[in-house]
Amino acid sequence: MFPMRYIPKGAKVIIYGAGKIGKEYYTGAHDTGYCKVVQWVDRDVREAFGCHIISPDQANYGLADFVLVAIDDESVAKKVIDMLVGKSDVDAKKIIWRKYNADELYQDYIAYVRKHKYDNPKSALGIKLHSFDESSIRHLVAMLEDYDLVISENPEVEFYGFECGRTGLYPECKKNSIKVAFWPGESYVPDYTIVNYSIISRELPTKNNLYYSIFFPTDKTINDRKEFLSTKEAERKFCNFIYSNSNRGDGALLRKHFCNLLSEYKKVDCPGLVLNNMKEAIVPRIGNWVAGRREFVRNYKFTIAFENSSASGYSTEKLFETFRSGSIPIYWGNPDIDKYVDSRSFINCHDYHNFEEVVDRVIELDNNPDQYMEMLSTPPMNDAYRYNRKEEYQRFFEKILQDGI
């Protein structure tokens, strides 16, 4: 998120500081297009998010309308400001620093997104956000587009972000507010002794949970397989494995085991950090990762697509980006994925007794072009899948407000 109330839209900005706050300011400016970051400055020179961070001595402060100091510690920020003021090309009036205030950033972002994407809301709703990131806010605003969301110290509803689910630590809340766990990209089970409801990327046996995944497709373009109908698709490279997480979650360990097992048949190309056997083969994660990964995967018949963990309803971009890239996923994760995805369009490890049987199926398809093309050309999402669940989301939230705590 970005401190929009202190810098006008369209301004040219130099961000000084590339720590946690600097990263948040940079991605907030970049992802919303609110302003142009002309330089990013830090004593730790490196690459981040596709941007080359330069040292303070290399910066050309005359390029910017404002210099935004992204440092939370007031004493450190003051030293930086004094240093900047001492430079001949820096106007003190251009230097912006404010103590980090999450509520201000949340409210600015909500107001900006609403102004540019949604119609006038029907009613006001006081909310409090705990441990939220920009992606979570974006999805929350989209879900609650009928409400004028106002950050409040006396909220009607308090939302808890995925860090609360990951750590099990929930900030102190108001006694009479409705508490909602909101992590539509994660599968952590919330603490229902603290929260009243949940909106998460996992199916749970409770009426107080809404299954909502940010990764599932929202339009039918994923089912358009025209681009992948040429028989040359069956002549591409064999298989790839792209991961940076080597040990977090059961899936991280299982996919390494499976990759090594499959490699006994043919070499599996591994351009990521885990099991790497290809140097600089793909755009690094700090760059345009989605485009770089999709372009790379497009060259392969198969892709090892294992989630970090297995939970009902929990499926991520690992599966759907593979479909969009025109490669057949070898999938492990959501045991109920065939509720939504046609089992004829991918290799589902959950359909086999062991990984040896999965390898045998891969080998069979690799050596039979007709079978391979039949699977590749099958539209992934089945007929029962609903691309637009907006009304269901709205009904669930109306129920939350009606039933209360």
The CA distance from 285 to 400, in Å, is 38
Mean pLDDT of 268-291: 73
Q: What's residue 102's pLDDT?
A: 85
Range scoring the smallest mean pLDDT among 37-41, 120-124, 217-221, 338-342: 120-124
Vertex 16, ends 13 and 21: CA angle to 5°? 100
The H or E element spanning position 154 is none
One-letter identity of residue 239: C
- In this predicted structure, the answer to whether residue 67 has a pLDDT above a threshold of 60 is yes
CB 150 within 8 A of CB 180: no
Mean pLDDT of 162-187: 92
The CA distance from 198 to 400, in Å, is 10
Q: What's residue 119's pLDDT?
A: 67
- In this predicted structure, the answer to whether residue 76 has a pLDDT above a threshold of 90 is yes
The CA distance from 77 to 73, in Å, is 6
- In this predicted structure, the answer to whether residue 89 has a pLDDT above a threshold of 60 is yes
Beta strands in 333-395 (DSSP E): 347-348
- In this predicted structure, the answer to whether residue 224 has a pLDDT above a threshold of 70 is yes
| Locus of tokens 């990209």 | 185
- Coil, strand or helix: which one is 256? helix
- Chain mean pLDDT for the chain: 91
Mean pLDDT of 388-400: 90
Question: What structural domains and CATH numbers belong to the chain?
Answer: 12-96 (3.40.50.20), 102-212+390-403 (3.40.50.11650), 221-376 (3.40.50.11660)
| Beta bridge partners of residue 198, listed in sequence order | 181, 209
Query: Which strands form 347-348's sheet, in the order they lie side by side?
Result: 237-240, 300-306, 328-332, 347-348
Range scoring the smallest mean pLDDT among 57-66, 89-98, 284-293: 284-293
Dihedrals φ, ψ of 22, to 5°? -60, -40
Dihedrals φ, ψ of 15, to 5°? -95, 125
The CA distance from 221 to 224, in Å, is 5
- In this predicted structure, the answer to whether residue 394 has a pLDDT above a threshold of 90 is no
Mean pLDDT of 83-100: 87
pTM equals: 0.80
Mean pLDDT of 89-109: 88
- In this predicted structure, the answer to whether residue 121 has a pLDDT above a threshold of 70 is no
Residues in the chain: 405
- In this predicted structure, the answer to whether residue 73 has a pLDDT above a threshold of 90 is yes
Range scoring the smallest mean pLDDT among 66-80, 215-229, 273-287: 273-287
- Coil, strand or helix: which one is 369? helix
Q: What's residue 288's pLDDT?
A: 52
CB-facing half-sphere around the CA of 11: CA atoms within 13 A = 20
- In this predicted structure, the answer to whether residue 399 has a pLDDT above a threshold of 80 is yes
Q: What's residue 248's pLDDT?
A: 87
CB atoms within 10 A of CB 291: 10
Q: Pairing relation of β-strands 157-160 and 197-200?
A: unpaired
Q: What's residue 285's pLDDT?
A: 46
In the DSSP assignment, the letter for residue 190 is: P
Range scoring the smallest mean pLDDT among 114-118, 220-224, 318-322, 353-357: 114-118
pLDDT in tens, 313-347: 999 999 999 999 999 999 999 999 999 999 999 99
- In this predicted structure, the answer to whether residue 243 has a pLDDT above a threshold of 80 is yes
Residue 110: pLDDT band (50, 70, 90) is confident
Mean pLDDT of 305-311: 95
pLDDT in tens, 188-210: 999 999 999 999 999 999 999 99
- In this predicted structure, the answer to whether residue 42 has a pLDDT above a threshold of 90 is yes
Could you give the percent of the chain with pLDDT greater than 70? 95
Mean pLDDT of 263-271: 96
